[in-house]
Amino acid sequence: MASSNFDFLQSLLLLLLLLLIPKVFSIDCPHNKGSSLSSTEANPRWLSPNKEFAFGFQKLPNEENHFLLAIWFNNIPETTIVWFARADPAPQGSTLKLTDEGKLELSDPQGKILWERAGGANSMCASMDDSGNFMLLNGDKKPIWQTFTEPTDTILPGQTLSMGQNLTARYSRESYGDGRFQLHLQPDGNLVLYTLTMPTGDATRGAYWATGTMTGNSQLVFNENGYIYVTDDNRWVFNLTKKDAGSRQDFYHMARIDYDGVFRQYRCEKSKTCGLKWIVVNRFPEDICSAILTEVGSGACGYNSICVEVNDEPDCLCPENYSYMNKSGKNLGCRPNFELPSCRLNGWESNLELVEFNEYTNTDWPLDDYDLQIGSGVDLQTCKQLCLNDCFCMVAIHNGNSCWKKKYPLSNGRRGPNVNRTALVKVPKINVTQLYLESLRQNNKDQSTTVLIVSVLLGSSVFINIVMTLEQTRVARTNIRGTVGYFAPEWFSRASITVKVDVYSFGVMLLEMICCKSSVAFGMEDQEEALMDWVYACYCKKTLDKLVENDEDARNDMKRLERLVMVAIWCIQEDASLRPTMKKVTQMLEGVVDVSVPPRPSIYCSTA
């Protein structure tokens, strides 16, 4: 009780101190009617007086010729946008102008209005203060319109949210469209975090985090000293800043609802020797994977996905034989790389010999149950068999003597040490030979097809047998450099045979898909060079465009092509211990892990 009174007294004294400190400032008005910015300028921006904030055109991460109208921290190497106009991206040559009518107007090169804000007849000029607030001012230099009253996903020191206002997360880390999460100060004064239903943007029922501050006149305040709290008529009712964020003289501050649904308070030390990197001071909720559990909605990571906390950050994973709905936003869900079950007589799920299960410990999709089996005889194998015999069942969750059956789509997936359940995910055994030949016929070099093939090869003990019955009449080792065909060098030596022979065979197959050439036919045409020699030489000389001369799509995406080639070179290493596992191959192709520079396969003597 004494501690509670002390905390309240401390908060009250701090608030009184802040109220007693006079806030003296004057607003400059450097941008008068007729002032303009163009995206073609070298530095299309207007700076705050202290030069800590910039307002203007900021290039979109993956679109060189499109821009956001935005506000960002000017002195931080890592571009950190704190406000942006909710409008279509502005193409190269767009212009921002403060018109003679007092409008702030963004138009494309053809004069089409993309975004505008009207200050009215009294609007005389525009300015941004040292707190990062951009304003339209009247003749008395008082704000008519300001970005602080139209926030996007970020709040800054000196800024407040009133009841009814909200912050909406971005669609993904690099996409600035509206995302799936929202921080909302409700009309009843309760500050809450909601998931949003897309594309309508309506809040789902039930918040996954809330302050419980249902008072008559609440505000969310981010004060100049880096403290964030909810007030009711100048009385602190909830303090979000659990740790001291440091003074504004020493640190930059901001708080943002990130694309993953976590509301984080950040700080960045202004000292140049520190590298100017953002550090998380506080976050809400602490574990979003377990916090979001709603009957309606897709959870923290989207449908069919698994949310897991890694180094205090949520990561969204797809089960094996699934792929991300959108690579730019991993929290948007996963889709199966196979046909969904239909319970038809000819469906794959009806032929039990074509069905297998992937097993995940400490994993659960808590909702979506349609059947529950309980009993002393319901062990893990029995649970698997129950799902196998039910064509509607796509996932079974086992825990002790309980077995839950689930249908698609799955939601609220999570994994963690406290999740005492095992997930059994039903997937088809796909005919890899038919799939590979079909992909060659379609000449499809899209990454999703490659990842699909890798996924079905994962753990496959029959792959080498399938290859032997084909990715041929001439498979023996010849006098040219390298091994002609799909067979790893250890097949022709006394080296031990391991699962890494499958990795080698897949590497050759991947090279054939990239180049649209048969390794056997290539070797027969040119006795001086094997397909692997040629590819490695092109990789070393940075002339990968030669591999795909007849494929315009591939030539337009050289970064992805290089990744595929590097993965293939890792797979065909003569030393089997250097080859990655098939699981690692899948992760490299999906972009989950980086691909390091591969060494030269020792059996090849490139002239590069």
| Predicted pLDDT at 351 | 80
Residue 202's domain comprises 151-286
Q: 427-465 burial string, b = 16+ CB within 10 Å, else e? A: bbebebeeebeebeeeeebebebbbbbbbbbbebeebbe
CA distance 576 to 313: 35
Site of tokens 């998931």: 195
CATH of the domain at 466: 1.10.510.10
Please write the tens of the pLDDT for every residue from 184-218: 999 999 999 998 876 666 766 678 999 999 887 88
Long-range contacts, 557-560 (Cβ 8 Å, 24+): 560/447
| Same domain flag for 543 and 415 | no
Q: Is 44 exposed, middle or buried (0-12, 13-18, 19+ CB in 10 A)?
A: buried
Determine which of 47-51, 160-164, 470-474 has the lowest per-residue pLDDT on average.
470-474
Same domain for 112 and 243?
A: no
410 and 497 together in one domain: no
Q: Are 193 and 117 contained in the same domain? A: no
Instruction: Please indicate whether residue 58 or residue 532 has the higher confidence score (pLDDT).
Output: 58
| Same-domain status, 352 and 254 | no
Mean pLDDT within 559-569: 89
If pLDDT is split at 50, 70 and 90, which confidence band does 432 have? Answer: very low
- Report if residue 599 sits inside a domain: no
Give phi and psi for 463, each to the nearest 5.
-60, -45
* Percent of the chain topping pLDDT 70: 80
What are residue 392's phi and psi, to 5 degrees? -80, -25
The lowest-confidence range among 62-71, 142-151, 425-434, 454-463 is 454-463
Q: Give the pLDDT confidence of 290-347 residue by residue, as tens digits.
A: 998 877 778 889 899 999 998 888 999 999 989 888 766 788 899 998 888 778 877 7
Q: Pick from 436, 493, 496: which is nearest to 463 by CA?
A: 436
Q: Which of these three, 242, 271, 286, is where a domain ends? A: 286
Res. 419 pLDDT band, cuts 50 70 90: very high
pLDDT given for residue 246 in this prediction: 82
**534 half-sphere exposure, CB direction, 13 A CA radius:** 22
Q: Are residues 424 and 443 in the same domain?
A: no
How high is the pLDDT of residue 47?
A: 94
Domain end, chosen from 130, 148, 166, is at 148
Pair 136, 9 in one domain: yes
Contacts of 519 (CB under 8 A, 6+ apart): 484, 485, 486, 508, 511, 512, 530, 531, 532
Backbone angles phi, psi at 387, to 5 degrees: -70, -35
- Tell me whether residue 274 is in a domain: yes
Together in a domain, 99 and 23: yes
User: CATH number for the domain including 197?
Assistant: 2.90.10.10
Residue 460 belongs to a domain: yes
Pair of tokens at residue 112: 């089409």
For residue 412, give the CATH number of its domain. Answer: 3.50.4.10
Interval 263-299: pLDDT, tens: 999 999 887 655 678 999 999 999 999 998 877 778 8
User: What is the spatial distance between Cα 88 and Cα 107, in angstroms, rounded to a whole number?
Assistant: 11
443: left (phi over 0), alpha (psi -120 to 50) or beta: left
**166 and 184 Cβ atoms separated by less than 8 Å:** yes
**CA–CA gap between residue 546 and residue 539 (Å, rounded):** 10
Helices (H), 458-581: 463-469, 500-515, 519-525, 531-540, 552-555, 558-571
Q: Could you tell me if residue 526 is inside a domain?
A: yes
Query: Could you tell me if 585 and 448 lie in one domain?
Result: yes
pLDDT at 164 over 80: yes
Per-chain mean pLDDT for the chain: 81
Domain presence at residue 335: no
pLDDT value, residue 521: 65
Confidence of residue 43 (pLDDT cuts 50, 70, 90): confident
pLDDT at 24 over 90: no
Say what the pLDDT of residue 16 is.
Answer: 43
Place 396 in a pLDDT band, splitting at 50, 70 and 90.
very high
The reply to whether 294 falls in a domain is no
Per-residue pLDDT for 171 more than 90? no
pLDDT at position 299 is: 85
Structure tokens at 45: 């921006």
One domain, residues 141 and 180: no
For 77-101, write each residue's pLDDT tens digit.
888 999 999 998 899 999 999 988 8
pLDDT tens digits, 493-552: 666 677 788 888 888 888 888 888 777 666 655 545 678 888 888 888 888 888 887 777
The per-residue pLDDT for 558 is 83
514: helix, strand or coil:
helix
- pLDDT exceeds cutoff 80 at 174: yes
pLDDT reported for residue 517: 79
Query: Among the three residues 98, 116, 148, which one is the final residue of a domain in this structure?
Result: 148
Residues 431, 433, 438, 440, CA torsion sign = positive
Number of domains in the chain: 4
DSSP for 567-605 reads HHHHHT-SSGGGSPPHHHHHHHHHTSS--PPPPPPTT--
Distances (CA, A) of 414 to 209, 359, 411, 423, 551: 17, 14, 9, 10, 41
- E-strand ranges in 40-118 read 45-47, 53-60, 63-73, 81-84, 90-91, 95-98, 103-107, 113-118
**Is a pLDDT exceeding 90 seen at residue 471?**
no
- Of 546, 570, 568, 569, nearest to 558 by C-alpha is 546
- Write the pLDDT tens digit of every residue in 101-118: 888 999 999 999 999 998
Domain assignment present for residue 320? The answer is: no
What pLDDT was estimated at residue 589?
84
pTM value is 0.66
Q: Are strands 143-146 and 53-60 parallel, antiparallel or unpaired?
A: unpaired
pLDDT score of 561 more than 70: yes
Q: Answer yes or no: do 437 and 414 share one domain.
A: no
Residue 431 has pLDDT above 60, yes or no: no
Phi/psi of residue 404, nearest 5 degrees? -100, 130
Contacts of 280 (CB under 8 A, 6+ apart): 264, 265, 266, 312
State both tokens at 86. 């909710």
Q: What angle do CA 393, 425, 593 make, to 5 degrees?
A: 150
Cα-based distances in Å from 133 to 27, 258, 276, 281 = 11, 20, 22, 23
Q: What band does 25 get if pLDDT is binned at 50, 70 and 90?
A: very low
pLDDT for the residue numbered 205 = 67
Instruction: Indicate if the pLDDT at residue 363 is higher than 60.
Output: yes
The whole-number pLDDT of residue 49 equals: 94
* Whether residue 165 has pLDDT greater than 90: yes
On whether both 181 and 125 belong to a single domain, the answer is no
Domain assignment of residue 296, yes or no: no
User: What was the pLDDT predicted at 360?
Assistant: 96
User: What is the CA angle 518-539-62, rounded to 5?
Assistant: 105
In sequence order, the 6+-apart residues with CB closer than 8 A to the CB of 310 are: none
**pLDDT at residue 334, as a whole number:** 92
pLDDT at position 493, please? 66
| Per-residue pLDDT, 17 | 41
